[in-house]
Chain A
């Protein structure tokens, strides 16, 4: 157990989640705390919201981003608005031919992402540039069969499961803020990863909670998602 204040890197939702009953554990990299003790696997299959904001992720942007990532062994194609599962369980979101975001696996193992960050050199002139996606955007995961219905209250995109297939991406407005919504099912459970402005995280979290209320208003945590992952 730990507290968010024991770490230099903190989620903008720490107060809200603590109030909701969250316990805190250190991320595997040990550089932040992540909420724990929230939700259940059944709720996560129905509808649940998880904050993964302190989990590792990084973006790359620039005209040569796709070949630069392929050179580094990232599994991806140059198709915009498609996500690609990585061998370690992470995700590569291709936002455009010039921009990607890499999300760590739920294990929180950030070795690969950290290496990508550390190895990058401006002088290499690869025309791809790292982006602090771990700071600029909060990371939420909405899981469960009711997720499309919930999204219909806050977003104009049709997220029905048969219309928005696994590994689809929508760069859109959710609750009036810009958001990247990626469907990447966890096990057999529908899962929508949302990256949204970190400065608006508390507002956005309130919107999600409000929209989820009629479906049970459940919060979950990384360990529940990992349970979903393992079936």
Chain B
């Protein structure tokens, strides 16, 4: 078992986040490691001497921690069934099983590391140039490439976890809990704004957690504690740690704010030199995080390569931690208190020099340094310095992603050699290093003013004077060209994609000289790090090659997400409404198999799935011979009330309604302004000024929208109400239907003469208020009984009970489809399409000829004058042994498609296959024979027959 020393620092001021009294064990590639409570996977491994964490994407080079802040791809590991976990952010826990990725064999002896020797065969853009010739060759390369270049492993058997989403509302949102973010949030809250501060890390403080202020670690720590105490004392300031915009654990946050302050800090930038990716070469801030947060020394003997005071401060930290600093290699001639302090400690300082090569494979062992002789140019190696870590601090790139997502423009500022956000949209401002401010006092003043302005704007007050956003100290942070190409290559500009300087140069040489094209051709910035450490140096190289300054080169586009988001975050807790009728539970109890109809669940049939055909046939026979009960609550219902109700209905539907008697129902056909059939139903005149209109399940919302839209335009004295959900309904149909309703207490006379076909009555049935329609969709005597929805289940219970002696059976949508087709009734949407006019559908009888207007009339009149080319007709298959056609099978004449089937069924009542089909006019005469192409290309003969197929005299429904 590995131990958690000797890299551990046992001194005050180190290990802020760990609890040394709580030791935890976990495994990495099956080996047992110890860490402390509060450790991340990477810190615990580093503390145990395990610097090697992963293998690179393309060349399988060994890699170790780079940022210790979840910003690079080097620390991606697999934890159980979760791929691509960031080891430098993920806390260890007892028994945690961590596995390294992208290797064949052990991490130390990855067999695929041989790829490192084949770089010359993998030039930039190689995947655009290879594997597509000869045709079909890709399939032989795909699998091995996927094995060699994979990241984590998805486990399809992984247990589903709970992810959800939530809104957060605030006046001012501050992104980033470093010094600038804290100052801004405190100022906003003190200005009276409800303020939300989100911080990606588990602790507030940003660089104050590990860095120095004015060369003093103590000052930084004191400032951090003071800011946090002030922030936590403010009741209108909410702080969310471990929250990045906008993921918090398993929750996706949708933050709604009036003002947003981006204080997201900045990203370290590497020095590009040969073998700059060796484990043990990491950013100085990563080393500071290891020491201050986790009590881990990054190495025993360090070389620090820097061009600013932060590198010197890191050297002092390392000395404080008991480490040795072999040398500070300064790319320039940095000055300041930290430099003097380093000199006072006797540290060797080499100015105007840079690392140009590194030795060591699984961990850096020495670094070769050379004098800088010009931009990107050096002498030969002047010295090899033995070391076990190289700490880099040569500048930063502000984290402008969020500001850019919001619409700010990102431009290069040659004075500070960094990018800036300009023209930020209203409501978005920046603070701290993201705004180009680095000196602690300037950061503080600017952030406070920015927070106060945000509070004023959020309350609707004028912003006042804008804060001074200049900081002379910013010019000494970032080196203008820390790129030193080697003749031997392997100086990495993008660690994720294993891209070297040569790759970027060759991209430009291949003609892709625009930065956007360079990105796509070379893949620079496309890896998990999203170019945080690669974009700036890529721009510099393109600038150098093209001779254009970086400010002219421009930038690639920042796109969301800012931090890795899982598909689960996107998909988590989706809302998928389902509508159930009030009788749904009864259907379940009766063994219904359900089908969807829009959002509704409807019984397709009752009984086991493996006996569906028999069950449906039984339901059809019950309706034809006794009685059946179907839940039609999903049917749309509209109450049209007011003095102009009849006139309104007359305009909306194609038939005539003004003279329709009270107590009668009439078929309705609705067309749109193009004359296309869009819905049908019945209009029941309950009173002179009151119609109850039914609509199809799927179209009722569309019908309601159309009615309200036209009502606004026509300004008629009528009210339209969609009462679909207010009413439940059943259709009680069959020769014994009347016996059943007559067995129940009611104030409605159900006798044939008193309640004829197409009659409508209101009253009560068994104590339930009802609207009863005598309509015959299925072709039998029947009653469509509508009642307020909360009575629906009781109505079902009462009717089922009353129907028992009469052989009443429930029936579903499948049986209803057969029954209606036997009667030749169309279903709008199935037997019509998006172009069908009423004449084609054989519905001329439903068109009022004398009405001056209805919606679609003008178009239909024009179509009638022009003539139609197809017509919906009934047909029967002529050979009983022929296979049954299906909906949408095609009608073929002389090898050409001339029509299609819209509905077809093997009728249990008629004992033959019947259906509806669109045919050319010259094929629509009764008795005309035609051929249907069914599955497998077989041709089936059929002939045109008149409808209804069943009970052509309509005698049964009018019994």
Q: For the complex, what is the distance from the CA of A132 to the CA of B717, rounded to whole Å?
A: 21
Q: In the complex, A10→B794 CA distance in Å?
A: 8
Taking CB atoms, residues of chain B closer than 8 Å to A163 are: 169
Asked if A9 and B641 make an inter-chain contact with CB atoms under 8 angstroms apart, the answer reads no
A204 neighbours in B (Cβ, 8 Å): 577
Q: How far is the CA of A12 from the CA of B580 in the complex (A)?
A: 9
A11 at the interface (CB under 8 A from B): yes
Return the chain B residue nearest A59 by Cβ.
B721
A200 and B578 in contact, given A125-B643, A129-B639 (Cβ under 8 angstroms): yes
- Say yes or no: is B790 at the interface (Cβ < 8 Å to chain A): yes
A154 at the interface (CB under 8 A from B): yes
Residues of A within 8 A of B723 (CB): 131-132, 136
In whole angstroms, what is the CA distance A154 to B254 when docked?
11
Q: Mark B33-52, 1 if CB is under 8 A from A, else 0.
A: 00000000000000000000
Please judge, given known A-B contacts A129-B719, A137-B725, whether A210 and B573 are in contact too, CB under 8 Å: yes
Size band of the A side of the interface?
35 or more
Q: Tell me the complex Cα distance, A7–B573, Å.
A: 36
B727 at the interface (CB under 8 A from A): yes
Interfacial residues of chain A within 199-220, with CB under 8 A of chain B in the complex: 199-204, 207, 210
Contact A152 B689 (CB under 8 A): no
Complex: chain B residue closest to A9, CB-CB: B790
Is B721 a contact of A131 with CB atoms below 8 Å? yes
CB of B127 within 8 Å of the partner chain: no
CA distance A54 to B582 in the complex (A): 13
Instruction: Count A-B contacts at CB 8 Å.
Output: 122
CB pair A152–B578 under 8 Å, yes or no, is: no
Closest residue to B574 on the A side, CB-wise? A176
Contact A10 B582 (CB under 8 A): yes
- Say which residue of B169, B719, B727, B793 sits within 8 Å of A10 (CB atoms): B793
Binds A, one of B160-168, B648-656, B892-900: B160-168
Is A15 touching B166 in the complex (CB atoms < 8 A)? no
* A134: B residues at CB distance < 8 A: 788, 790
- Give the complex CA separation of A10 and B719 in angstroms: 29
- B612-654 CB mask vs A (1 if < 8 Å, else 0) is 0000000000000000000001000001011100000000000
Binary CB contact string for chain B from 571 to 589 against chain A (1 if under 8 A, 0 otherwise): 0010111111110010000
A10-B794, A129-B639, A158-B256 known; A136 vs B575 contact (CB < 8 Å):
no
Q: Is A35 an interface residue (CB 8 A)?
A: no
Q: Which of B167, B599, B788, B797 contacts A152 (CB 8 A)?
A: B167
Query: Is B690 an interface position by the 8 A CB rule?
Result: yes
- B167/A156 in contact, CB under 8 A: yes
- List which B720-764 residues lie within 8 A (CB) of chain A: 721, 723, 725-727
Which residues from B are CB-within-8-Å of A10? 582, 790-791, 793-794
Interface string of B919-933 (1 = CB under 8 A from A): 000000000000000
Distance of A5 Cα from B641 Cα, bound (Å) = 34
Quick check: B726 and A135 within 8 Å, CB to CB? yes
Tell me the complex Cα distance, A122–B690, Å.
8
With CB as the reference atom, state the residue of chain B lying closest to A148: B169
Check A136–B726 contact: CB distance below 8 A.
yes
Q: Which A residue's beta carbon lies closest to that of B788?
A: A135
Given contacts A61-B721, A207-B575, contact A15 B585 (CB under 8 A): yes
Identify which of residues 90-141 in chain A touch chain B, using a CB-to-CB cut-off of 8 Å.
122-123, 125, 127, 129, 131-137
Over the window 60-75 of chain A, the binary record of Cβ atoms lying under 8 Å from chain B Cβ atoms (1 yes, 0 no) is 0111000000000000
Q: Is A155 an interface residue (CB 8 A)?
A: yes
Q: Cα distance A102–B168 when bound, in Å? A: 32
B767 in the interface, Cβ–Cβ < 8 Å?
Answer: yes
Question: Do A12 and B577 have beta carbons less than 8 Å apart?
Answer: no
- A129-B641 contact, Cβ under 8 Å, with A10-B790, A15-B585, A32-B790: yes
- Contact partner of B577 among A7, A15, A53, A176, CB < 8 A? A176
Write out the residue numbers on chain A whose beta carbons fall within 8 Å of the beta carbon of B582: 10, 12, 198-199
Report whether A154 and B575 are in contact in the complex, using a CB–CB cutoff of 8 Å.
Answer: yes
* A1 touches B (CB below 8 Å): no
Nearest-neighbour CB distance to chain B for A181, whole angstroms, equals: 14
The answer on a CB contact under 8 Å between B727 and A135 is yes
B790 touches A198 (CB 8 A): yes
B240 within 8 A of A: no
The answer to whether A8 and B791 have CB atoms under 8 Å apart is yes
B687 within 8 A of A: yes
Given contacts A62-B719, A132-B726, A137-B725, contact A152 B164 (CB under 8 A): no
- B281 on interface, CB distance cutoff 8 Å: no
* A44 CB, nearest partner CB in chain B, Å: 22
**Is B667 an interface position by the 8 A CB rule?**
no
| A51 contacts partner chain B, Cβ-Cβ < 8 Å | no
Evaluate contact between A129 and B166: CB separation under 8 angstroms: no
Is A29's beta carbon under 8 Å from chain B? Answer: no
Which of A199, A203, A210 touches B789 (beta carbons < 8 Å)? Answer: A199
In the bound complex, what is the Cα–Cα distance between A168 and B501 (angstroms)?
62
**Bound Cα distance A11, B489 (Å):** 75
B768 at the A interface (CB under 8 A): yes
- In the bound complex, residues from chain B placing their C-beta under 8 Å from that of A200 are 577-580, 599
Q: Please, how many angstroms separate the alpha-carbon atoms of A176 and B599 in the complex?
A: 12
State the Cβ distance, B143 to closest chain A Cβ, in Å.
42
C-alpha gap A176/B165 in the complex (Å): 13
A5 to B798, CA, bound (A): 11
Known: A63-B719, A158-B169. A175 touches B575 (CB 8 A): yes
- A153-164 interface bits toward B, Cβ cutoff 8 Å, 1 = contact, 0 = none: 111101010010
B465 → chain A closest CB, angstroms: 29
- From known contacts A136-B726, A198-B725, infer whether A176 and B580 are also in contact, taking CB-CB under 8 Å: no
Q: In the complex, A154 Cα to B167 Cα: how many Å?
A: 8
Tell me if B580 and A177 are in contact (CB < 8 A).
no
With an 8 A cutoff between CB atoms, is A197 at the interface? yes
Contacts of B642 in A (CB 8 A): 62, 127, 129
Do A175 and B577 have beta carbons less than 8 Å apart? yes
- A199 and B575 form a contact (CB under 8 A): no
Given A122-B687, A129-B719, A135-B788, verify A156-B254 contact (CB < 8 Å): yes
Interface-centre pick from A8, A134, A136 (highest chain B CB count, 10 A): A8
Query: Which residues in A have their C-beta under 8 angstroms from that of B168?
Result: 152
CA distance A42 to B267 in the complex (A): 49
Q: Are A129 and B721 in contact (CB under 8 A)?
A: yes
Contacts of B793 in A (CB 8 A): 10
CA distance A142 to B727 in the complex (A): 26
B642, closest chain A residue (CB): A127
Interface residues of B in 826-854 (CB under 8 A from A): none
Of B578, B599, B689, B788, which one neighbours A132 at CB under 8 angstroms? B788
CA distance A203 to B725 in the complex (A): 15
**Chain B residue at smallest Cβ distance from A150:** B166
Cα distance, A204 to B599, chains bound together (Å): 13
Cβ of B182 to closest chain A Cβ, rounded Å:
24
A197-B727 in contact (CB<8A): no
CB neighbours (8 Å) of B585 from chain A are 15
Q: How far is B573's CA from A177's CA once the two chains are assembled, in angstroms? A: 15
Closest to B254 in A: A156
B residues in contact with A129, CB < 8 Å? 639, 641-642, 719, 721
Give me 22 A-to-B residue pairs in the complex whose CB atoms sit less than 8 angstroms apart, sorted by A's number. Answer: A9-B788, A9-B790, A53-B790, A61-B719, A61-B721, A62-B719, A122-B689, A127-B717, A134-B790, A135-B727, A135-B791, A136-B725, A137-B725, A152-B168, A153-B165, A153-B167, A176-B576, A176-B577, A177-B577, A198-B790, A199-B581, A199-B725
List 13 other contacts, CB 8 Å, given A61-B721, A132-B727, A135-B788.
A10-B791, A10-B793, A12-B580, A127-B642, A131-B726, A132-B726, A133-B726, A197-B579, A199-B633, A199-B789, A200-B578, A200-B599, A202-B580
Residues on A facing B (Cβ under 8 Å) = 5, 7-12, 15, 32, 53-54, 61-63, 122-123, 125, 127, 129, 131-137, 152-156, 158, 160, 163, 175-177, 197-204, 207, 210
Binding site for A on B (CB under 8 A): 164-169, 254, 256, 573, 575-582, 585, 599-600, 633, 639, 641-643, 687, 689-690, 717, 719, 721, 723, 725-727, 767-768, 788-791, 793-794, 797
- Counting from the closest, the 9 A-B pairs by CB-CB distance are A136-B726, A199-B579, A176-B575, A132-B726, A135-B789, A158-B169, A135-B788, A8-B794, A136-B725
